[in-house]
Structure 1
């Protein structure tokens, strides 16, 4: 009799499309994929990684070549192919452009933008940055057209809320970004169909707070605003991890 009642209850939920049936169809994500930004690699996400792992998530960090938008999207897709899904896809800085396109993957359930660019279809990263210019003039380009920050200007521009030693490590391990990656337009904007979360950094000198606010309002992202530099993933890893976990737990 008990088994019969259980079958009837399940049948009613499926027939009515009630909230329990919906929740079962959209489980909370356990896989987190992180896409680092320009000028750095994935090693700076160590603290966020450890928090998420401790809280029971499976975390993979994409190491992009930063040679072109297409190359970086392909690197992200290769990592997504290894996940079981649903996946929360996290992007920092230029990595926001990468997840905007790669996030169209059906495994991706939510997007998290950390001080990140969030272009629409047809927009390029550099085009967005010029809309609200960041308050710095430190960026330089190599003869073969890769952007970088001079080591002596790195901390003030990128990581003012990190210790001198931490900022020096980032500067010394800097990974330049190809200019052509910044010029490439986005072909699909996953935030139109996937829920977006954002960490807005009010002390940012790379992606201006005004640009972040404009982009995140346009996408109707759920915004967490913090007083932090562009390196918030290192200076405030707990806050960044909590936003990622909120995205993972959403079931809409």
Structure 2
């Protein structure tokens, strides 16, 4: 009788290899930072993900308007060579909700982020379940907003070292009022898989609001004990969620 075991073994190995390639097919990760901090804060999480085999790109959006920031994200998406996972922190959640409609995007990860529905602006979404009073200031021309440097630790990054918080406060990206008042169109999360990280100690976005928006979108939720700067204080845990999403988005 002919021995079919070698043939079956080869077939099984080929099937497993094909399944593995399919499951890990999303290798491109594009991160959209939020207001008040730029993309450099994602360095540790990026290094972790790249060691795990992912190609990570950070969008340095200007936060001059939602349209400008979506356009900046689109320029980066255009450079990706295949399926891509979009990650947004804070205001970046507004951006990926719009930019995520791109055909290359297979999934969305919201990191302590706004996850708006159609017609919602950041201001409207935030007012649903307000956070504690943040020490927000206006520029002299009244067009941009920033966080009082003296309150940066308590309001944004209470779980980071003082020297790190001091630098963040000095290098924060001012946000235009126009960006915060612009409404999104049809949310990408209505047609794409989504994941949400709730920062349980967040004082910039109420954690209950993060939970509500994630539930509304049907996102898979992970709660992490951290401040709004969870991507910096807990980069390994954030990277774990992103990796899980990238693998699931490839199925």
Q: TM-score, normalised by structure 2?
A: 0.90
- 1:190 aligned partner: 188
Distance 1:117 1:39 in 2: 14
Q: Superposed, which structure 2 residues align to 1:145-184 within 5 Å?
A: 145-184=143-182
Deviation of the 1:151 alpha carbon: 0.7
Match of 1:210 among 185, 208, 211: 208
Pair 1:141-2:138 in alignment: yes
Deviation of the 1:24 alpha carbon: 7.5
Specify whether residues 23 and 107 from structure 1 end up closer, same or farther in structure 2 by C-alpha distance, changes over 3 A only: farther
Q: Superposed, which structure 2 residues align to 1:59-98 within 5 Å?
A: 59-98=56-95
Unaligned runs of 5+ in 1: 10-19
Please give the secondary structure, in 1, of the residue aligned with 2:201: coil
Q: What per-residue deviation string (whole Å, max 9, x for no partner) do you get for residues 176-222 of structure 1?
A: 10011011010120000111011100100101101101000001111
Please give the secondary structure, in 2, of the residue aligned with 1:90: strand
Q: What per-residue deviation string (whole Å, max 9, x for no partner) do you get for residues 74-108 of structure 1?
A: 00000000001210100000000000000000100
Q: What per-residue deviation string (whole Å, max 9, x for no partner) do you get for residues 83-141 of structure 1?
A: 01210100000000000000000100110000000011111111001111111231112
Number of residues paired by the alignment?
237
Specify whether residues 204 and 70 from structure 1 end up closer, same or farther in structure 2 by C-alpha distance, changes over 3 A only: same
Pair 1:34-2:31 in alignment: yes
Distance 2:34 2:125 in 1: 15
Distance 2:40 2:22 in 1: 35
Specify whether residues 159 and 51 from structure 1 end up closer, same or farther in structure 2 by C-alpha distance, changes over 3 A only: same
Please give the secondary structure, in 1, of the residue aligned with 2:203: coil
Unaligned runs of 5+ in 2: 12-16
The ranges of structure 1 where at least 4 consecutive aligned residues each deviate by more than 4 angstroms after the TM superposition are 20-27
Distance 1:25 1:237 in 2: 26
